[in-house]
């Protein structure tokens, strides 16, 4: 499958999801990027903006098996991973899978569970497997966790540890719809919810082919250096207590390839890196207490670094001209060079 075919698959999927989610094309595309990279998504926003509906719509669109886990303070790790039950007939223990055994798992209000229960997802998110009573059970492929949390309400919640935040490929917010989009939403739900009539639009085989296709997207050495420079800069920023890990570099590298394919290109440009930097890096950056007192957050730090870190291949506009189309067409060259 070439990038144009990947773009077609993504467009069909986005159009189908937008039958339910109105006016959130970019957010839907970012979730598809994570799906193409076989990564996990953290949807962080206030209640009622469509986080859960988006997760269900994506699952129905691509035909994945879907299960939901409602995280509460009394939820146990075994309620997530499953348990071993003794079978009296065979005199053996049998594994009863938990709700995490599905291709797409919605972890609703993930920060309402205790850290012990949250940690039950660590192995599943990183290695696509769960271990129960010393026996390891592989999870179906593709395996994607879509977690939701409310960043405003802190009563009865447990902040996600850095190790778990680092396992999410992207973090995004839905945001409120515009006035016109909200009016359209009222019209669509006048008689019934459009999610009830949503059907599969993309074959699972096509999704797997698209996942393999993005691995062939070219990333020039200069763009790779740009990615690493951005991630390194998060570790040296004055307002940062803990910068992004090497997993952040891999996340930015993989998501830019998927974003390029979504735009019909077989090569990555620096603008792809700028587009994906905040969704992939901000939640991995821990701001220092002194910076938080000045209302500095991790998103602000990433945007500052995007302005500060030099873009590869950039030269003054008066001395440059476009390079012919093809791989590396994002670069500029000096006249006469």
Asked if 13 and 103 sit in the same domain, the reply is yes
Domain boundary among 198, 216, 234: 216
pLDDT at 336: 34
Check: CB of residue 225 under 8 Å from CB of residue 273: no
Asked if 324 and 202 sit in the same domain, the reply is no
CATH of the domain at 230: 1.10.8.80
Check: CB of residue 43 under 8 Å from CB of residue 92: no
300-335 pLDDT tens trace = 999 999 999 998 876 544 444 444 444 444 453 323
pLDDT band, residue 233 (cuts 50/70/90): very high
pLDDT at 316: 47
**Percentage of the chain modeled with pLDDT above 90:** 41
Asked if 247 and 312 sit in the same domain, the reply is yes
Provide the domain count of the chain. Answer: 2
- 290 CB neighbour count, 10 Å cutoff: 11
Domain boundary among 201, 216, 231: 216
Residue-wise burial string across 14-44, b where 16 or more C-beta atoms lie within 10 A, e elsewhere: bebbebbbbbbeebbbbbbbbbbbebbbbbb
Asked if 92 and 205 sit in the same domain, the reply is yes
Asked if 147 and 28 sit in the same domain, the reply is yes
pLDDT band, residue 92 (cuts 50/70/90): confident
DSSP string, 316-330: -GGGEEEPPSSTTTT
Share the mean pLDDT of the chain: 86
Which pair of structure tokens corresponds to residue 55? 């997760």
Which candidate, 109, 11, 101, places its Cα nearest to that of 55? 109
Give whichever of 111-125, 180-194, 247-261 has the largest mean pLDDT.
247-261
Asked if 202 and 295 sit in the same domain, the reply is no
- 317 CB neighbour count, 10 Å cutoff: 8
pTM of the full predicted structure? Answer: 0.85
Asked if 250 and 175 sit in the same domain, the reply is no
Asked if 205 and 301 sit in the same domain, the reply is no
Asked if 208 and 193 sit in the same domain, the reply is yes
Q: Domain limits at 269?
A: 217-337
4-50 pLDDT tens trace = 788 889 899 999 998 898 888 899 999 999 999 999 999 988 888 88
Domain boundary among 216, 248, 282: 216
Q: What is the mean pLDDT of residues 169-180?
A: 89
Check: CB of residue 128 under 8 Å from CB of residue 145: no
Asked if 264 and 135 sit in the same domain, the reply is no
pLDDT at 317: 46
Quickly tell me which residue has 């009865």 as its tokens: 156
Q: What is the mean pLDDT of residues 53-65?
A: 89
The pairing of strands 104-108 and 144-149 is: parallel
Beta strands in the chain (DSSP E): 41-44, 66-70, 82-87, 92-97, 104-108, 129-132, 135-138, 144-149, 170-172, 240-242, 286-287, 320-322, 332-334
**Percentage of the chain modeled with pLDDT above 70:** 92
Asked if 38 and 171 sit in the same domain, the reply is yes
pLDDT at 234: 92
Query: Which of 13-22, 57-66, 256-265, 312-321 has the weakest average pLDDT?
Result: 312-321
Query: Which of 75-89, 126-140, 208-222, 318-332 has the weakest average pLDDT?
Result: 318-332
Task: For residue 297, give the DSSP letter.
Answer: -
Asked if 131 and 173 sit in the same domain, the reply is yes
CATH of the domain at 87: 3.40.50.300
Residue 228 has pLDDT above 50, yes or no: yes
């Amino acid at each position: 499958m070439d990038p144009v075919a990947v773009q077609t698959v993504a467009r069909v999927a986005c159009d189908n999801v937008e039958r339910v989610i109105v006016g959130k094309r970019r957010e839907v595309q970012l979730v598809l990027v994570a799906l193409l990279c076989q990564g996990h998504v953290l949807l962080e926003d206030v209640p009622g903006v469509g986080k859960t509906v988006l997760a269900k719509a994506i699952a129905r669109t691509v035909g994945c098996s879907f299960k939901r886990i409602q995280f509460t303070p009394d939820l146990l790790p075994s309620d997530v991973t499953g348990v071993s039950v003794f079978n009296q007939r065979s005199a053996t223990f049998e594994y009863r899978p938990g709700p995490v055994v599905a291709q797409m798992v919605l972890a609703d209000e993930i920060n309402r569970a205790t850290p012990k229960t949250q940690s039950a997802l660590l192995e599943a998110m990183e290695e696509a497997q769960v271990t129960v009573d010393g026996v390891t059970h592989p999870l179906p492929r593709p395996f994607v966790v879509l977690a939701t949390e409310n960043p405003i309400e802190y009563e009865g919640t447990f902040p996600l540890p850095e190790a778990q935040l680092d396992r999410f490929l992207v973090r995004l917010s839905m945001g409120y719809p515009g006035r016109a989009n909200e009016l359209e939403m009222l019209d669509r739900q006048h008689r019934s919810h459009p999610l009830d009539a949503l059907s599969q639009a993309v074959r699972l085989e096509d999704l797997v082919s698209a996942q393999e296709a993005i691995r062939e997207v070219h990333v020039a050495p200069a763009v790779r250096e740009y990615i690493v420079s951005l991630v390194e800069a998060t570790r040296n920023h004055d307002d940062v207590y803990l910068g992004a890990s090497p997993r952040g570099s891999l996340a930015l590298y993989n998501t830019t390839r998927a974003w390029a394919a979504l735009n019909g290109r077989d090569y990555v440009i620096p603008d792809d890196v700028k587009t994906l930097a905040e969704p992939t890096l901000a939640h991995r950056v821990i701001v220092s207490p002194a910076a938080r007192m000045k209302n500095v957050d991790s998103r602000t730090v990433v945007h500052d670094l995007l302005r500060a870190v030099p873009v590869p291949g950039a030269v003054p506009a008066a001395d440059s001209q476009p390079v012919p189309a093809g791989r590396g067409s994002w670069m500029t060259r000096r006249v006469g060079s």
